[in-house]
Amino acid sequence: MNKINVLLMLALTSCIALSAQARDKRDYHDMVYDSGCKTCHDQGTKRFPSDDACLQCHDMGELAQQTKREGHDAKQNPHDSMHYGQEAPCMECHGEHTPKQAICMDCHNFDYPKFKH
């Protein structure tokens, strides 16, 4: 086998492995994967999806309500924070193909036990 064939085979194998890895990362987005990468990657596959792409399926008001806290923790709502309101960029905290942490954790030690990367 010549070097070009080996390189082509390695490149193809890498693409297949990356594709399979991306699909297996987030079970809660399974229904979107079959529609293709451009369903979310509205700015191209080499860039993060825009907030508009996320908001096609997710409603920020509903997310803020779901993550609302009471009492002493009331100001610890990641989807309605005192710093960003409901305007924090989605990809600052969430990543489909790589684990991330909430941007709040850069300065705070809040506990978000249901946090989905």
pTM > 0.75: no
User: Which residues lie below 8 Å from residue 21, measured CB to CB, with a gap of 6+?
Assistant: 97
Residue 53 sits at the vertex; the CA angle it makes with 103 and 77, to the nearest 5 degrees, is 30
pLDDT at 87: 95
- Report residue 14's pLDDT band, with 50, 70 and 90 as the boundaries: low
pLDDT at 8: 60
Residue-wise pLDDT tens digits, 29-85? 888 888 888 999 999 999 999 999 999 999 999 999 999 999 999 999 999 999 999
Find out whether 93 and 82 touch, Cβ atoms under 8 Å: no
